[in-house]
């Protein structure tokens, strides 16, 4: 262990000369489509990243050993949802989504332009980010909300017959299509009082800049703890690649590049078994420091080949603990800018998230989707209940104001009436 740690420190200190071994099979390297980000786009990156780290720490509280989710997808879906609000409720969304120092207009414009940048920056990576909104047929969406959703989130805003049990397939098929068939049957049912679904889907597929040869993948131990190990399919490069790396004490930060290097897989690990301790230092500010201080270094990388899928049926409790409270309760200030027709009190009932990743010798394929479900409090069921008087019953005729009972009767056997 000491020998390995010393090697890592040497690499990260720049003692091993960095050089580019190529690594890509493409005969003509493709240049990334870079441009200077506007100030509000940079702020959006900060907001999305801070939210990602906040959410990571929140989900870590559950103590699960493996997890995978798309904070960008969740952030996009909630950012789109926030535009149905104003006043105090809007401020809750802005705070949780970490839009510190930004106006709503700047946040929406940044969401639009940053997404366009991400979609175009690397021609060799396949990526799609899509949004859609369905609302209850017969309701009228507030024009200002619809305009924002269409302009800044490129979301189609369409009516949906939510009383039809088959309507759930409309949402699910859209998600399946936008995630290349990976995320299926995400929405299990549409409740009778649902009034809107706001959905984001994201798909990513990128080849490693330095390819792992399948013939080099072998069974190897993966040390879960100092006293426990598991067997994995361990991939291995045949020659050194150029990576960015940073080490600080027991912490190791790596960037494993895809294609042109504009997209990377960032990795945080420990040189011993203190990852949980190291993760306590994971803040946006520290991550920025690790990124800025990472140096290029040459080494042979070994990493596990794995597939992971995680679905969160409802993120309500986690988001409420992060500070998004009012939108999850029926409140008169909720979603006042969502519908132009009168509605009863509205609330978010579910935020569903489903994510998948496969890491293999060729690269990485990942997909995720987020569904925000908004329901209405109704005094009566939205579909009429059926009550059948098929058993003996007592009946009476009464005067409502006084309560006087004018007639009383009982029906036990209709056959005896004739």
The CATH number of residue 289's host domain is 2.30.39.10
Radius of gyration of the chain (CA): 27
6 and 81 part of one domain: no
**Domain shared by 198 and 259, yes or no:** no
pLDDT at 271: 80
pLDDT given for residue 6 in this prediction: 46
Low-confidence winner among 34-43, 75-84, 88-97, 166-175 (lowest mean pLDDT): 34-43
Q: Residue 404 falls within a domain, yes or no?
A: no
The most distant pair of C-alpha atoms in the chain lies apart, rounded to whole Å, by 106
- Same domain as 248, residue 143: no
Q: Distance (Å, rounded) from C-alpha 155 to C-alpha 132?
A: 4
| pLDDT for res 408 | 59
**Whole-angstrom Cα distance, residue 319 to residue 230?**
33
Last residue of a domain, one of 277, 299, 321: 299
Helices (DSSP H) in 310-353: which residue ranges? 316-321
| pLDDT at site 2 | 41
74 located within any domain: yes
CA distances to 257, 285, 302, 347, 415 from 264, in Å: 4, 19, 16, 38, 80
Please check the confidence at residue 51 and state whether its pLDDT lies above 60: yes
Task: For residue range 370-407, list pLDDT tens digits in order.
Answer: 999 999 987 544 445 566 666 665 555 555 544 555 65
97 shares a domain with 158: yes
Q: Which of 223, 164, 162 is nearest to 193 (CA)?
A: 162
In the predicted structure, residue 86 carries a pLDDT above the cut 60: yes
Residues 339 and 197 placed together within one structural domain of the fold? yes
Same domain, yes or no: 246 and 154? no
Phi-psi region of 101 (alpha: psi -120 to 50; beta: other; left: phi over 0): left
On whether both 156 and 114 belong to a single domain, the answer is: yes
The answer on 257 and 116 residing in a single domain is no
Cα of first residue to Cα of last residue in the chain, in angstroms, is 96
So what's the pLDDT on residue 15? 38
- Do both 158 and 66 map to the same domain? yes
Domain's final residue, options 264, 284, 299: 299
Q: How far is CA 135 from the centre of its chain?
A: 21
User: Does residue 417 sit within a domain?
Assistant: no
pLDDT recorded at residue 278 = 86
Q: Give residue 107's pLDDT.
A: 95
CA distance 85 to 24: 48
Q: Vertex 80, ends 77 and 81: CA angle to 5°?
A: 85
Measure the CA–CA gap between 278 and 245, rounded to whole angstroms.
Answer: 16
402 vs 257: which has the higher pLDDT: 257
Both 193 and 123 in a single domain? yes
Instruction: Determine, yes or no, domain membership for 384.
Output: no
Summarize the confidence of residues 26-48 as an average pLDDT. Answer: 79
- Can you spell out the DSSP letters for 179-223? TTT-S-S------TTEEEEEEEEEEEEEEBSSPPPGGG-EEEEEE
Q: What is the pTM of this model?
A: 0.86
In this predicted structure, what is the pLDDT of residue 234?
Answer: 94
Q: Which long-range contacts (CB under 8 A, 24 or more apart) does 285-288 make?
A: 287/49, 287/53
Domain membership of residue 400 (yes or no) is no
Q: Are residues 292 and 314 located together in one domain of the fold?
A: no
Residue located via tokens 């017959």: 161
What is the number of alpha carbons within 13 Å of residue 246 lying toward its C-beta?
15
- Asked whether the beta carbons of 92 and 327 are under 8 A apart, the reply is yes
The boundaries of the domain holding residue 201 are 39-207+306-376
Query: Which one, of 136, 139, 141, lies nearest residue 161 by Cα?
Result: 136
Task: Categorize the per-residue pLDDT at 347 as very low, low, confident or very high, splitting at 50, 70 and 90.
Answer: very high
Check: CB of residue 253 under 8 Å from CB of residue 245.
Answer: yes
Going by pLDDT thresholds of 50, 70 and 90, the confidence category of residue 64 is confident
Give the tens place of pLDDT for each residue, 128-175: 999 999 999 999 999 999 999 999 999 999 999 999 989 999 999 999
pLDDT tops 70 at residue 111: yes
Residue 216 lies inside a defined structural domain of this protein: no
Q: Say yes or no to pLDDT of 53 above 80.
A: yes
pLDDT at 21 over 90: no
Let me know if residue 328 belongs to a domain.
yes
286 and 200 in one domain?
no
- The predicted model gives 284-306 an average pLDDT of 93
Taking a C-beta distance cutoff of 8 angstroms, is the pair 165, 188 a contact? no
- Report residue 207's pLDDT band, with 50, 70 and 90 as the boundaries: very high
* pLDDT given at position 270: 85
pLDDT at 398: 53
Q: What is the 3-state secondary structure (H, E, C) of 43-96?
A: HHHHHHHHHHHHHHHHHHCCCCCCCCCCHHHHHHHHHHHHCCCCHHHHHHHHHH
Calculate mean pLDDT across residues 196-202: 97
Strand order across the beta sheet in which 363-376 lies: 156-160, 126-136, 194-207, 363-376, 346-359, 302-312, 228-236, 218-225
Binned at pLDDT 50, 70 and 90, residue 412 comes out as low
Residue 14 has pLDDT above 90, yes or no: no
Is the pLDDT assigned to residue 38 strictly greater than 90?
no
Provide the number of structural domains found in the chain.
2
Examine residue 403 and state whether it is found in any structural domain, yes or no: no
Average pLDDT over the chain reads 86
| Distances in whole angstroms, Cα of residue 170 to Cα of each of 140, 167, 179, 385 | 20, 5, 15, 26
pLDDT at 330 over 50: yes
Q: What kind and span of H or E run contains 15?
A: none
Which CATH number covers residue 361? 3.30.497.10
């Amino acid at each position: 262990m000491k020998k390995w740690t010393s090697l890592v420190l040497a690499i990260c200190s720049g003692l091993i000369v960095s050089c580019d071994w190529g690594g890509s099979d493409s005969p003509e390297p493709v240049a990334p489509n870079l441009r200077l980000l506007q100030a509000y786009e940079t702020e959006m990156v900060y907001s999305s990243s801070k939210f990602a780290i906040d959410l990571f720490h929140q989900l870590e509280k559950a103590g699960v050993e493996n997890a995978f989710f798309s904070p960008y997808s969740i952030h996009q879906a909630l950012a789109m949802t926030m535009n149905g609000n104003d006043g105090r409720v809007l401020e809750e969304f802005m705070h949780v989504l970490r839009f510190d120092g930004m106006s709503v207009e700047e946040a929406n414009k940044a969401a639009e332009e940053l997404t366009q940048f991400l979609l175009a920056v690397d021609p060799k990576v396949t990526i799609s980010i899509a949004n859609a909104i369905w609302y209850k047929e017969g309701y009228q969406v507030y024009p200002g909300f619809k305009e924002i959703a269409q302009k800044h989130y490129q979301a189609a805003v369409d009516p949906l017959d939510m009383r039809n049990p088959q309507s759930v397939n409309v949402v699910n098929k859209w998600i399946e299509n936008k995630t290349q068939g990976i995320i299926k049957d995400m929405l299990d049912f549409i409740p009778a009082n649902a009034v809107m679904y706001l959905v984001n889907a994201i798909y990513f597929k990128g080849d490693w800049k330095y390819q792992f040869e399948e013939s080099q993948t072998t069974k190897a131990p993966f040390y879960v703890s100092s006293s426990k190990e598991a067997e994995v399919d361990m991939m291995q490069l045949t020659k050194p690649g150029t990576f960015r790396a940073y080490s600080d004490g027991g912490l190791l930060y790596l960037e494993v590049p895809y294609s042109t290097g504009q997209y990377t897989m960032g990795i945080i690990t420990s040189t011993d078994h203190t990852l949980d301790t190291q993760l306590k230092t994971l803040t946006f500010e520290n991550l920025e420091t690790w990124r800025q201080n990472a140096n290029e270094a040459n080494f042979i990388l070994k990493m596990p080949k794995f597939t992971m899928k995680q679905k969160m049926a409802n993120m309500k409790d986690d988001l409420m603990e992060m500070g998004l409270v009012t939108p999850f309760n029926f409140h008169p200030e909720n979603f006042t800018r969502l519908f132009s027709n009168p509605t009863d009190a509205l609330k978010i009932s579910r935020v569903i998230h489903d994510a998948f990743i496969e890491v293999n010798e060729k690269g990485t394929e990942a997909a995720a989707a987020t569904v925000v479900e908004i329901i209405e409090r109704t005094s009566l069921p939205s579909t009429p209940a059926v009550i059948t008087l098929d058993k003996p019953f007592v009946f009476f005729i009464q005067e409502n104001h006084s309560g006087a009972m004018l007639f009383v009767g009982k029906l036990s056997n209709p056959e005896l009436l004739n």
